[in-house]
């Protein structure tokens, strides 16, 4: 699949492996792999192709896989969350779950011998992990308060599901979209606050009116990585809701067939757009669709600050509220998951929602149940009114489970947020994002303060360091942060952050 613009170098090993056998072909082999155990599995299947089913071999904890689900629009039923809790509960201390920055769930501790049973259980509750890793379309994000927010413009839930069903063939796996040049992110915003971080997605839909019809303006090509971070750019297209899924299908097909594949650092969608220019890209998508696309509306409806949805808010349904609860750095154990599922059953409509800030929302709490809800013991851990910094902190997996990590992240992020929030007061929320290596899974570039783990030298020894980015903005005029300081030793970080918070973010020492 060499295209104009690619250097005539040899095929990357990933392209070779994909050409040899599609990841989805492993469906037939899962039973056998469960029987023979992780050590006997073909290494390319184990470390690479199993990711087509969301199964990540973790070299740090060999034999304990991470399982990445798909949770369209970040919405789960209590039954689904309880089923996931049961799955991780069987692994005791080794079992846990993380809420990710794509409104998704990753389960930890999963043993390959249990996978057929786990997949049956997930299937029974309507969940799939298919095509959630490697060169596939990641969990599709939507508005976390879709259908319940009084100021909502478009309910994104069915649209997100429709796109997921198209890409995964209703969860069965779809070989039409299982060999993209690289990973791919899609987001659909439904209200005015750009809740999905449109700018860092390969395709983003933003509500926009054209001739009094509410549809979407389309952005394309945004992504973050260790070597390039770029905001999505306007495609100069406006679509009605019913055209969202077909347009995604057409863009994916054009990208699949034409996207550069030889250098994995230069194969995300934006590289194809760079190569062709946006006009040609748009024309090729129209050709694939077989129809002309409307030009973009003059403006989209995004305005103002992005809400983190933490706290108690009245719903558009009179008499009901939703509660946004802070899950510090997104980490859940099995008991937490049972407790949240239980909260949704007792007080809500059996629904739990996830946010890109790694938090949860429990919708449909009746006014007269609110007082009792707020007394529930689990709200001590997952607060609707958390401390500043803890409220906003986001972290990638880091050294505990990820072999790419150069530093420990989640624990450190939480300890520092707690300590600094005891010592300082803040005029405004400050979003600190941690990421354990330059791969940037924790999205440091969208944060007020973004920390990227690395290694440095001090007194002849190798030490953990971070590069510090500042100035990332979300919401209407979103911008990516830029490098502020390089190679700050993690052992000095508290002092450095304290000073930065005071000098650049107007924090004030308490007493």
User: Which residues are catalytically annotated?
Assistant: 68, 182-183, 436, 441-442
Long-range contacts of 171-175, Cβ-Cβ distance < 8 Å, separation of 24 or more:
171/70, 171/123, 171/128, 171/130, 172/130, 173/24, 173/27, 173/52, 173/130, 173/131, 174/24, 174/131, 175/22, 175/24
Given ligand SF4, ligand HEM, none, residue 405, with its beta carbon under 5 to 8 Å by kind, binds ligand SF4
Residue of 136, 231, 262, 440 interacting with ligand HEM (CB under 6 A): 440
3-state secondary structure of 94: helix
CB-based closest residue to ligand SF4: 436
Burial of 503 from C-beta contacts in 10 A (0-12 / 13-18 / 19+): exposed
- Give the nearest distance from C-beta 301 to ligand HEM in angstroms: 25
- Nearer of residues 131 and 397 to ligand SF4, judged by Cβ: 397
Number of neighbouring beta carbons within 10 Å of residue 45 = 18
Structure tokens at 496: 């450095």
Which one among 442, 450, 453, 454 touches ligand HEM, defined by CB under 6 A?
442
Kindly list the strands in the beta sheet with 360-366, ordered across the sheet, starting from the edge strand earlier in the chain: 75-77, 351-354, 360-366, 320-325, 311-314
- How do strand 360-366 and strand 351-354 relate by DSSP bridges? antiparallel
Decide which of ligand HEM, ligand SF4, none touches 321; Cβ closer than 5 to 8 Å per partner kind: none
- 375 φψ region: left (φ > 0), alpha (ψ -120 to 50), beta (else): alpha
Residue 410-449 contact track with ligand SF4, rule CB under 6 A, x = bound? -------------------------xxx-xxxx-------
398 versus 450: smaller Cβ distance to ligand SF4: 398
398 binds, among ligand HEM, ligand SF4, none (CB under 5 to 8 A by kind): ligand SF4
Beta bridge pairs of residue 191 = none
Q: Is 450 in the site for ligand SF4 (CB under 6 A)?
A: no
Does the footprint of ligand SF4 cover residue 402 (CB under 6 A)?
yes
Q: How far is the CB of 133 from ligand HEM (least distance, A)?
A: 8
CA distance 375 to 183: 43
The three-class DSSP label of residue 18 is helix
**Closest CB to ligand HEM among residues 102, 192:** 102
When binding is defined by CB under 6 A, the residue of 401, 413, 449, 507 that contacts ligand HEM is 401
Least distance CB 421 / ligand SF4 (angstroms): 23
For residues 136 and 54, the answer to whether their CB atoms sit within 8 Å is no
Cβ-based nearer residue to ligand HEM, 189 or 230: 230
Subset of residues 56 to 75 that bind ligand HEM, contact rule: CB under 6 A? 56, 58, 66
470 counts as binding ligand SF4 under rule CB under 6 A: no
Residue with smaller CB distance to ligand HEM, 254 or 446 = 446
Binding partner of residue 505 among ligand HEM, ligand SF4, none, CB under 5 to 8 Å per kind?
none
Q: Whose Cβ is closer to ligand HEM: residue 296's or residue 396's?
A: 396
Smallest gap from Cβ 458 to ligand HEM, in A, equals: 27
Give burial (CB, 10 Å; 0-12/13-18/19+) of 460: exposed
CA within 13 Å, CB half, 47: 12
**Taking the CB of residue 176, how many other CB atoms lie within 10 A of it?**
12
Residue 66, contacted partner among ligand HEM, ligand SF4, none, CB below 5-8 A by kind: ligand HEM
In the three-class reduction of DSSP (H, G, I as helix; E, B as strand; rest coil), residue 89 is classed as: helix
Q: Is residue 77 near ligand HEM by the rule CB under 6 A?
A: no
Contact call for residues 20 and 275 (beta carbons, < 8 A): no
Would you count residue 398 as binding ligand SF4 (CB under 6 A)?
A: yes
Question: In terms of CB distance, is 259 or 398 closer to ligand SF4?
Answer: 398
- Beta partners for residue 127, in sequence order: none
* Residue (of 269, 268, 429, 454) closest to 357 by Cα position: 429
Cβ-contact 69, 80 below 8 angstroms: no
Q: What token pair was written down for 110?
A: 């999963």
For ligand SF4, the binding residues (CB under 6 A) are 396-398, 402, 404-405, 435-437, 439-442
For ligand HEM, the binding residues (CB under 6 A) are 56, 58, 66, 100-102, 106, 224-225, 396-397, 401-402, 404, 439-443
């Amino acid at each position: 699949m060499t295209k104009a613009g690619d250097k005539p170098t040899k095929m990357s090993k990933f392209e070779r492996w994909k050409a040899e056998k599609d990841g989805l072909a492993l469906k037939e082999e899962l039973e056998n792999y469960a029987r023979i155990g992780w050590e006997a599995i073909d290494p390319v299947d184990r470390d690479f192709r199993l990711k087509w089913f969301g199964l990540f071999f973790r070299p740090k904890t060999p034999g304990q896989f991470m399982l990445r689900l798909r949770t369209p629009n970040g919405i789960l039923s209590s039954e689904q969350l309880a089923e996931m809790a049961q799955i991780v509960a069987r692994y005791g201390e080794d079992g846990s779950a993380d809420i990710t920055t794509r409104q998704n769930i990753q389960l930890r501790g999963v043993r390959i011998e249990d996978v057929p049973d786990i997949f049956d259980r997930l299937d029974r509750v309507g969940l799939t992990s298919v095509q959630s890793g490697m060169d596939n379309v990641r969990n599709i994000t939507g508005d976390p308060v879709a259908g319940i927010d009084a100021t909502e413009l478009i309910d994104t839930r069915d649209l997100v599901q429709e796109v997921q069903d198209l890409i995964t063939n209703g969860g069965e796996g779809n070989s039409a979209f299982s060999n993209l040049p690289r990973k791919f992110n899609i987001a659909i915003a439904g209200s005015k606050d750009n809740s999905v971080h449109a700018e860092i997605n390969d395709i983003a839909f933003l509500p926009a009116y054209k001739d009094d019809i509410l549809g979407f303006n389309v952005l394309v090509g945004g992504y973050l990585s260790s070597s390039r971070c770029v905001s999505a750019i306007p495609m100069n297209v406006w679509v009605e809701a019913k055209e969202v899924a077909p347009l995604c299908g057409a863009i994916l097909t054009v990208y699949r067939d034409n996207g550069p594949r030889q250098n994995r650092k230069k194969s995300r969608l934006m590289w194809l757009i760079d190569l062709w220019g946006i006009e040609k890209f748009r024309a090729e998508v129209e050709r694939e669709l077989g129809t002309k696309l409307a030009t973009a509306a003059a403006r989209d409806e995004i305005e103002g600050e992005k809400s983190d949805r933490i706290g108690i808010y009245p719903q558009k349904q009179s008499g009901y509220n939703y509660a946004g609860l802070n899950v510090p750095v997104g980490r859940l154990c099995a008991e937490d998951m049972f407790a949240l599922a239980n909260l949704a059953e007792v007080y809500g409509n059996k629904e739990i929602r996830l946010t890109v800030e790694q938090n949860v929302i429990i919708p449909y709490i009746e006014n007269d149940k609110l007082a009792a809800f707020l007394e529930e013991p689990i709200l001590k851990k997952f607060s609707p009114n958390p401390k500043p910094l803890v409220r906003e902190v986001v972290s990638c997996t880091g050294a505990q489970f990820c072999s790419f990590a150069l530093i420990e992240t989640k624990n450190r992020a939480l300890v520092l947020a707690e300590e600094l929030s005891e010592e300082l007061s803040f005029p405004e929320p400050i979003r600190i994002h941690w990421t354990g290596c330059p791969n940037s899974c924790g999205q440091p570039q969208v944060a007020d303060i973004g920390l990227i783990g690395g290694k440095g030298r001090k007194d002849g020894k190798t030490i953990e360091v971070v590069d510090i980015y500042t100035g990332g903005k979300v919401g209407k005029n979103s911008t990516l942060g830029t490098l502020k300081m390089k190679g700050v030793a993690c052992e000095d970080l508290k002092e450095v952050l304290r000073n930065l918070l005071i000098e650049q973010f107007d924090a004030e020492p308490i007493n």
